[in-house]
Structure 1
Amino acid sequence: MARILVADDEETVREFVTRALRYRGHEVGQAIDGASALEALQREPFDLLLTDIVMPVMDGIALALKVSRDYPAMRILMMTGYANERQRAHNLDALIHDVILKPFSLDEICAKVDEALAVPHA
């Protein structure tokens, strides 16, 4: 299975997604914001970054830009509860796989992750 990094400042969302992905057999790391996500990526490899857009310290947009530059093979999925943030993320279509709207079900998030992982490495 895949190694996935979940970056979200909301602990309940982070834990919800982490449990679902681990149940599906993935190895999952967690980060509370974009800066801690970058630190985690420097420590160990991941196949997929699943990040919230709105976070303190470094938001998901800035994180996606840095990750796509430094780890070009990394697949990136974004999450948001804000429609206007989803629109901002669509400017990154060439860099990210998709934007998932919150709230989502376990089946929805797992299906999007499976879809992103099915895309060949860059």
Structure 2
Amino acid sequence: MARVLIADDEESVRLMVARALALDGHQTVTAEDGAEALDILNRDRRSFDLLLTDIKMPIMDGIALALAAASGFPKLTILLMTGFADQRERTSGLDAIVHDVIAKPFSVEDIRAAVADALAAQR
């Protein structure tokens, strides 16, 4: 299955998403913010199939992370998550690097389906 990097500053969201994706056999690694996620991407020798990141986070937000990840890892599929309408608007123009934006709150089924869709589009 896929290897997924989850970046979200809310621990409960990171844990719920990691558990949901584990149901489908995916391996997950989590980060508390964009800077930590970018560090993981840069230092981890095993590649990731998907980056799933919140937009609004401290230190480095999800859009800055997506731009850096797309530049350094062009084959990486990127999904953004947000609970804020104004943050969703910031994603306009990122269609070339972002597969989709998932609205929070979401159910376990919603996140599993969004990840499955993103991974299927990657193939």
- TM tier relative to shorter chain: over 0.9
Q: How many residues align?
A: 121
Code of the residue aligned with 1:78 in structure 2: it is L
1:106 aligns with 2:103: no
Q: 1:67 aligns with which of 66, 69, 74?
A: 69
User: Mapping of 1:1-122 within 5 angstroms?
Assistant: 1-44=1-44, 45-120=47-122
Aligned sequence identity (%): 57
Measured in 2, the distance between the counterparts of 1:14 and 1:32 equals 8
Q: 54-63 or 35-44: which moved more?
A: 35-44
Measured in 2, the distance between the counterparts of 1:35 and 1:113 equals 22
Q: CA deviation at 1:17?
A: 0.3
Unaligned 5+ residue runs, structure 2? none
Pairwise CA RMSD: 0.9
TM-score, normalised to structure 2, is 0.95
